[in-house]
Amino acid sequence: MNKNDIMFDEDYCLNDIYIDEEVNPITLEILDSLYAADEVLQDDYKERIADFINSSKKWFPIAYEKIVSEIGNADGLRLMKIFVLFEQNQSNSLFGLSFNLDFDREHGRGMKLDGDNFAVLKYGEASDAF
């Protein structure tokens, strides 16, 4: 993915994002509560988002292991959404990941990751991703 691919629709989403670790497409969503959701997105901001997606080989195993260490298996574990959680003028980036699980479809699992070092900052139900 490159920065020119980052164009959110009227629902603040970009559908059909693919990463190597998932067979099915993922949705990228910018929170509508961010000023950035209604601003013209700057190239460096879009590049930070694209870089995060392109770094999935680094952050996906961290997220996967966090969930598997809690639930004991990966049955039906699927990344559904990546949330953009930071403003254009912020120096640090923050992303949310929302996962579906076979045994807990209602609540799933979610986490917030530091976009630079991929540290898990918050973990819990899917709603913790945003």
Domain ranges of the chain: 16-129
CA distance 99 to 67: 9
Q: Which of 15, 14, 18 is nearest to 1 (CA)?
A: 18
Q: DSSP assignment of 41-79, as one string?
A: PPHHHHHHHHHHHHTHHHHHHHHHHHHHHHHS--TT-EE
Encode the chain (130 residues) as per-residue pLDDT tens digits.
999 999 999 999 999 999 999 999 999 999 999 999 999 999 999 999 999 999 999 999 999 999 999 888 778 899 999 999 999 999 999 999 999 988 766 678 999 999 999 999 999 999 999 9
**pTM for this predicted structure:** 0.94
